[in-house]
Every structure is written in structure tokens, then in C-alpha cells.
Amino acid sequence: MSFQDGFTQSLNQAGISIDASLIPDQSSVSSDLDSLQTWLASLEPDTMTAIDQVSGENPVKAGLADPSVAIVSAIGPVLKAVDAAPAAFSISATLAMLRQAFDAGSAEA
């Protein structure tokens, strides 16, 4: 099984539907997850709380991959899939879920 297959399988188990062909290479995913973590850590606590609330209630996570925002780039399709999921995930919960999927994919690589 490839990194992409393991990553996708983990997301599917969390209720996120995405095809493995949309998952970038392991290095790109790692870089984007680190960038997202760094950005979240840079926020003031009140701002983080507000962003978590808004991102949990609205499908806005894919906007982080917009070139004008440039927080992440390679995982844009993954964030779109999270936004399209029937369950709502805040950006913090999304990052935790993607880290878990990354670990699952890495174990399969």
C-alpha cells in the first residue's frame, strides 16, 4: 500500500471521501501540515477560538490553499474534501485528523 492509500483510508474512516489520486506526495503533505500548524500556533488565543468556531460551522478550510492566502498549497483537494464532508470539523480538528492520516499513510509507505 502507498502513502496516498494509507492516508486516504484513514480519512475515509473519519468520514472524509477523497480519492487517493488527489493526495500529493508525502513530503508535500508534511510541509503543508507543518505550515498549517505554524500558522495556527501564531494566532492569538481569541483569534484561534474564533477561527475554530467559524471553520467548524462553515466550509472555509479550502480557502487556506488559495494562492492569495498561501498558508498551504498541496493539500487543497484534501481541505475541499473535509469541507464537503457530512460532519463539521474545525480547523484544529482537521489538523489533528490530517496528522493522524499522515501517520497512517507513513506507516504504509
Report pLDDT digits (tens) over 22-73. 999 999 999 999 999 999 999 999 999 999 999 999 999 999 999 999 899 9
* pTM value surpassing 0.85: yes
Q: How far apart are CA 16 and CA 81, in angstroms?
A: 6
Model confidence over 70-94: pLDDT tens digits?
A: 899 999 999 999 999 999 999 999 9
Q: How would you class 39 by CB atoms within 10 Å of its CB: exposed for 0-12, middle for 13-18, buried for 19 or more? A: middle
State the cell numbers at 62. Answer: 479550502
**Residue 105 neighbours by CB under 8 Å, 6+ apart:** 2, 3, 4, 5, 6, 7, 8, 10, 23, 26, 29
